[in-house]
Amino acid sequence: MKFHVAAAVIAFGLASAGAAQAQTVGIATSNPGSIFHNIGSAVANAANKAGLNATIQPATSPNQYIPAVASGDIEFGVANLQEVNYALEGREWFSGSVNPDLRLVALIMPLKEAIFVRADSDIRTIADLKGKPMVDGYTAQQTILPQLDAMYATAGLTRADMRPVQVPSVVAGADAFMAGESAGFIFAHSAGKVREADAAVGGLRALPIENTPENLAAVRKFWPVAFFTRMKPGKNNPGVQEEAWFLAYPQIVFTSTHASEEDVYKMTKVLYENKDALVQTFPPFAAFDPKEMVGEIAPSEYHPGAIRFYKEVGLWKE
C-alpha cells in the first residue's frame, strides 16, 4: 500500500499463523469518531477474524481517500454511493478528476443522518434553525454541503438563512457544537462522535423530517440517492426522542480495477458470511442484510471479484 496518512494505521484482530504470511489489504476510512471510521473498523475486524489480513487507514474525508482507492494506492474504502458516483464521473467537487477505475464491492446498511441540537434547546424542527449559528464550509468534506442543503430545503430554508460557523469536517463540526459555537451539527446516527456529543451536553435532539413526496423531491435535488427512513428511540440512537423519519442514503464498500480479483472475492465473502462479527464491532450493522449487497448502483459497476462471489451464492442477475 502506497497511501500514507497522518493518523496511525490501526490493525484489528490476530490473523492465524497461516494467514500471517498473506498480503495485508488496506481499508480507507474517515477520521476516528466518524461513521465511516466505525464501519471500516468493523469490516477490518471481521476480515481479520475470517483470515483476510486488513488494516484501516483514516483520512480526513472521502474527498481525500476515494481518489487514493481509485488509483490503487489502497485496496478498499467505505463511503456513500452518491459520492463514489460523483468521483467516478468527475462531477461536483470531483470536477476535472474523473476516476473511471472505481468499482463496488457491496451495498451495506444505509447511512441515516440528522441535524442534532441540544435536547434542552428550544429548537425542535429544522425550521427553528433559521437565523441560528450553524456549521458550514466543510472545506475538507464537501459532501456535507449538499446534504445540509437537502435538509434545509424540507423546511423551505437555505444555508444563507443561517449564521455560518466555518468548519472543515463533520468531526470538527461536532466539536464546534460541543464548544457552544454552533446551535447544531450534522452527523450520521449512531456514530461515536454523536455519542460523545450526547454525553458532553447532557443529551441531544435529532431533528426529524416529514416523509412527504414534496420533501423527497426537495431532498433529491441536492442528493439524488436519498430516501427517508423511520427510526425509533433506543440506546443505539442518541438524539432520537420519538419515532420519526430521517434522511438516509446507501453506504458501500468499494475498490478499484487495480485490486486483485481474489482479494475482492475474499472481502465480498467476508461481508456476506460475517454479519455477527460486524454487529459485535459496530451495532448499527444489525440493519445490514447480506442478501441486499447487490442492487442498483449506476453509473458505478461491481468488481469482477465481487461478481464471481455473487454468482456463486445466487445473488447475481445479469
Where does the chain hold its CATH 3.40.190.10 domain(s)?
10-110+251-312, 111-249
Task: Name the CATH superfamily for 111-249.
Answer: Periplasmic binding protein-like II (3.40.190.10)
Long-range contacts of 190-196 (CB under 8 A, 24+ apart): 190/35, 190/38, 190/112, 190/236, 190/237, 190/238, 190/283, 190/284, 191/33, 191/34, 191/35, 191/38, 192/32, 192/33, 192/34, 192/37, 192/38, 193/33, 193/34, 194/116, 194/238, 194/239, 195/238, 196/33
For residue 99, the Cα-to-chain-centroid distance in whole angstroms is 19
Q: Which fold has domain 10-110+251-312?
A: D-Maltodextrin-Binding Protein; domain 2 (3.40.190)
Q: Max CA-CA distance within the chain?
A: 60
- What percent of the chain has a predicted confidence (pLDDT) above 90? 84
pLDDT in tens, 28-84: 999 888 889 999 999 999 999 999 999 999 998 888 999 999 999 999 999 999 999
pLDDT in tens, 139-179: 988 889 999 999 999 999 999 999 999 999 999 999 999 99
What's residue 20's pLDDT?
40
**What predicted TM-score, i.e. pTM, was given to this entire model?**
0.80
Question: Per-residue confidence at 22, pLDDT binned at 50, 70, 90?
Answer: low
- What percent of the chain has a predicted confidence (pLDDT) above 70? 93
